[in-house]
Structure 1
């Protein structure tokens, strides 16, 4: 960071999902390592996950009431406009009191009033887009911010007219997981490890495909760790009806995914931006099953960015079966050459210094 007489003051904003929250926290972690005296304020929404997650990391937290527009005509949209206008005023007050040097938004509706208020106050602003399809909020804010950080080249088209602001940085989560593994190296590993999961809360569809695939996965010369999601764990065990296999372990949740990924050879998962950042940063071969229930189908677009480079395979959810899952897992778990080739292509796409790149941008806009 630039030498300053006073500690740098940074406002972070991002909310709704972990995909917006954790990149902001990963960036803050790296900035603190570089400049321990940096002061942070995180502005989130009253109803988002960030209100519970951020304080656990020790950062000051303020909240605004905000919600997204409905796609159909709705009285709720009148409330949305009202919340937006009042939140801009509240955000301006928060920013004046905290007096940040820079404001950084990582996506979600709450970023709109915070970043726009910073623009009105002539405070330098940066947004970060994690996906290969830009979120509505970031698209709207792109006209008002100083820099636009991206993780996928494909998203450039969504910021037409703002090309001079765009910088490819990658996702700070990638640098975080690589740094973690350097600090906590795995000293031993036995056999090929396959990990299947459907996100932090699990996926009923992926869990059912695993149930259908169980017999086909049993007694293979590789180990499978199935992460069901905490709320779906009992249902999964019930669906298996007592079936067990020596090479299959079923757990409800894993607190430290980087530690598990360190011994993993092949992954079956959704294609959220944070997950793909981890896979590419660590160079892991994967089968991606995009969730069709996300805005603008961005998970499929994310997955295709890897598929087109030979860095992953993809099965659409509508085509997912137990047999299809087993076929792809066998293809890579049983063939080291194919697996290593895919892993190398994934590694080529990984950016493992995203936070450092964003720090350079912060220095540039100050």
Structure 2
């Protein structure tokens, strides 16, 4: 991590945005692709939010990052909004300084609170920009950036951004390389994304209560770090001597490639990265879109999988232990349907998404 884009090697791409894995991991996949094309690691720099996942995972991946203040605004007047406005103003000032000092050939926005200040700074300094939209419903930062002249790359057909190019959603190379070998007994993976999902966590504990006597199925439950203690307490409260279910609870999964390889059926939210990874790995799934997501983008993300026959959609208000047990049990018992879902998921995969996005970034930067 460094301060305000301090002097160093000439920067090729300044990648800005983040907050959650849905923004961060496609950005890292793009960065890895650019490095693989001969752009040295120090010439790919990131700008993110202090509170975002990128503050940890980008340095761990070997890239430099500048962290900005800032947070989202609530939809009513609050004192927290006044603090947020001040932090966002500071982020704009710092972003102008970062872009001025880094002098990148291109700025790439991936969405999230930290992306818009740098995209505005790029416009003011006439630096060309690209934005990548992961979801079917574009975020505010990307919509504004396109109006300011940024080129748009989209992950799903029909995403309403002007003159966009369909690239798909870049995924980590290790996910694209997954070779499926589902476990015996069948494994149900419950994964709520990088931040976890309370509704899915509650459903998973409810599933334990219903499957406690079974040894012909297993569960791997990724709760999210902030929810782990609560889930561990709830699980301890329902466990009884003599329970036979193999149930593993973890706060975070560092090796999603291995989990996808051995999973028979996944229970997940329908974030953009999750949907892209499920498709690439060919994992049959039950998708529970997050209610209230901007533009209801998770329902739209899930629809692509459901329409192809790769997933079952379960509304959030129906997602409890009893309903999950009924749907999961029916699917696990139908090997033919699971095989068909796996094949259908793979038809939606775009394993070359990182390469397609890198092509656009190099074109806009004048490097091709």
Fold equivalence (TM over 0.5): yes
- Taking the TM superposition and a 5 Å limit, the aligned residue runs for 1:296-315 are 296-315=295-314
Name the counterpart of 1:249. Answer: 247
Change in Cα spacing, 1:169 to 1:226, as seen in structure 2 (3 Å) is same
In the TM superposition, what whole-angstrom CA distance separates every residue of 1:226-274 from its partner, at most 9, and x where no partner exists? 3334333422322323366444222223221111111112111111111
Displacement after TM superposition at 1:276 (Å): 1.1
CA distance in 2, matches of 1:139, 1:244: 55
CA distance in 1, matches of 2:181, 2:316: 37
Displacement after TM superposition at 1:201 (Å): 4.2
Which of the numbers 14, 20, 32 marks the counterpart of 1:29? 32
Name the counterpart of 2:56. Answer: 52
Name the counterpart of 2:216. Answer: 221
Which of the numbers 202, 206, 215 marks the counterpart of 1:212? 206
Q: Do the aligned partners of 1:202 and 1:227 also contact (CA within 8 Å) in 2?
A: yes
Identify which range, 21-30 or 298-307, moves more after superposition.
298-307
TM-score between both structures, scaled by the size of structure 2: 0.86
CA distance in 2, matches of 1:138, 1:352: 23
In the TM superposition, what whole-angstrom CA distance separates every residue of 1:335-366 from its partner, at most 9, and x where no partner exists? 11111112222111111111100111122212
Q: 5+ residue gaps in structure 2?
A: 1-8
Q: Does 1:132 align with 2:136?
A: yes
Name the counterpart of 1:3. Answer: none
Q: Does 1:199 align with 2:203?
A: no
Q: Do the aligned partners of 2:11 and 2:45 also contact (CA within 8 Å) in 1?
A: no
Name the counterpart of 1:70. Answer: 74
Q: Do the aligned partners of 1:174 and 1:351 also contact (CA within 8 Å) in 2?
A: no
Alpha-carbon RMSD = 2.6
Change in Cα spacing, 1:245 to 1:7, as seen in structure 2 (3 Å) is farther
CA distance in 1, matches of 2:242, 2:189: 17
Q: Does 1:324 align with 2:323?
A: yes
CA distance in 2, matches of 1:153, 1:278: 17
CA distance in 2, matches of 1:276, 1:322: 22
Change in Cα spacing, 1:79 to 1:151, as seen in structure 2 (3 Å) is same
CA distance in 2, matches of 1:66, 1:200: 20
Which of the numbers 130, 146, 151 marks the counterpart of 2:150? 146
Name the counterpart of 1:95. Answer: 99
Q: Do the aligned partners of 2:137 and 2:294 also contact (CA within 8 Å) in 1?
A: no
- Taking the TM superposition and a 5 Å limit, the aligned residue runs for 1:326-345 are 326-345=325-344
In the TM superposition, what whole-angstrom CA distance separates every residue of 1:66-117 from its partner, at most 9, and x where no partner exists? 3333322456656655555553343222122112111111101211110111
Identify which range, 250-259 or 232-241, moves more after superposition.
232-241
Q: Do the aligned partners of 2:21 and 2:194 also contact (CA within 8 Å) in 1?
A: no
TM-score between both structures, scaled by the size of structure 1: 0.86
Change in Cα spacing, 1:208 to 1:83, as seen in structure 2 (3 Å) is closer
